[in-house]
Amino acid sequence: MAAPGLMDPKEELLKGFRTEFEQLQIRLRENQQLIEQSEQEVDRLRDRNVAVSSQLRRVESNFDTIPRADIKTAYDNAIDAKTRLLTMQGQLEKLRGNQDELQRFAQLLGRLLNVAEGISPDQFAPTIASGGASELLTFEDGRLSTQAVVRVVEAQEIERQRLARQMHDGPAQSLTNFILQAEICQQLFNRDPDRAKEELDHLKTAASVTFQKVRDFIFDLRPMMLDDLGVVPTVRRYVDAIQEKSDIQTKLSLLGDERRLPGHIEVMVFRSVQEIITGARDALKAKAINIVLDLGPERIKATIESDGRSFDVEQALSDTSSENQFALRTLRERIELVGGTIEVSSVEGDLNRFVILLPCA
């Protein structure tokens, strides 16, 4: 029986379920409206793309007589039309993916709500998950609470949004330009071979640059050496790559015995170091970053120190909005879900310091 003035644990759980379920329904309706609006915009952009392509074909059929400025304008319009269409199609695909995730989560939450409503007070016994996670409610059979499930889903969506932006700004844009450059070369082969050769040289150079960017993108997405060699060689290569491609001075120090760790811990160590270094580089404008990995017998300690701008630690650990350039809330939640902790300090005129503790098992 609940103490006077306190809500019964079962009723508190049910209230949380109902509130979350109602919010999910609202998000589903809002997301569906965005999907319908995006579908209309995609249709409009498809029509525009058809019109621009027709104009481009007319330009190509009169390539020798049309002024170069008009040719450039036609190709710029084609690039813009294709880019806008690809962007909106990507946004529509992301919205549909979000809708599927929300619907699946709503179904899961609905089932949990039905089950919870049928649980007797004697059967229900919420506990606090051990291992350093902050107030993660679990059932006796080990299932994650609604709060934990929400955090996992949100983390997945944030990561998908990041990948979608990287794909659009990188490989997708480059491939669009390749197509247009190839079309230019095709038109020039019989009319101006020298210029066609020049365009092919440009295309080859652009392809080489894009190939390296794709390799970097794949490494950031999931470095294969993380599975093959482990977290220490992977972090070492990442830190070296940061120094090679920027003017940031990086240093990696290793304490303890270098060894393989459980797969999920190795991933968490690498992702944590990667995300903090990226934030220090982009948001804090760091010029020097020092990383220390301490592989103890029972826990892993990663310490990252950087110079650069100071920041609001409380905001960084609690906010994921686009206005917050250095958001750490999602990282903190992922760390806590595997039983770890993160401590952050930032003082004006001093180093920014990040300390991550993770279990070895």
Task: Write down how long the chain is.
Answer: 361
Mean pLDDT of 248-276: 91
* Bigger pLDDT: 267 vs 75: 267
Count Cβ atoms below 10 Å from residue 33 Cβ, excluding itself. 11
In the chain, at which residue ranges do the beta strands (DSSP E only) sit?
A: 127-128, 137-138, 249-256, 288-295, 299-306, 341-345, 352-359
**Residue 261 reports pLDDT greater than 60:** yes
Q: What is the mean pLDDT of the chain?
A: 76
Mean pLDDT of 96-117: 71
User: Whole-model pTM?
Assistant: 0.50
One-letter amino acid of 295 = L
Mean pLDDT of 279-297: 94
**Residue 125 reports pLDDT greater than 90:** no
**Residue 279 reports pLDDT greater than 50:** yes
Which residue from 26, 163, 142, 153 is spatially nearest to 93, judged by alpha carbons? Answer: 163
Tokens found for residue 247: 């003017």
What pLDDT, on a 0 to 100 scale, did the predictor assign at position 131?
35
* Bigger pLDDT: 134 vs 247: 247
**Residue 252 reports pLDDT greater than 90:** yes
Which range among 163-177, 236-250, 261-275 shows the weakest confidence by mean pLDDT? 163-177
Helix (H, G, I), strand (E, B) or coil at 292: strand
Which residue from 318, 312, 358, 354 is spatially nearest to 335, judged by alpha carbons? Answer: 358
Structural domains for the chain: 9-220 (no CATH), 224-359 (3.30.565.10)
Tokens found for residue 242: 């940061």
**Residue 163 reports pLDDT greater than 90:** no
Mind listing the pLDDT tens digit for each residue in 292-346?
999 999 999 999 999 999 998 988 888 755 455 677 888 888 888 888 999 999 9
Mean pLDDT of 160-170: 63
Indicate the pLDDT class of residue 158, thresholds 50, 70 and 90: low
* Bigger pLDDT: 201 vs 220: 201
Phi/psi at 140 (5° precision): -65, -30
What pLDDT, on a 0 to 100 scale, did the predictor assign at position 122?
39
What pLDDT, on a 0 to 100 scale, did the predictor assign at position 249?
93
Helix (H, G, I), strand (E, B) or coil at 352: strand
Tokens found for residue 332: 């903190």
What pLDDT, on a 0 to 100 scale, did the predictor assign at position 233?
92
130, 339 contact by CB (below 8 A): yes
299, 281 contact by CB (below 8 A): no
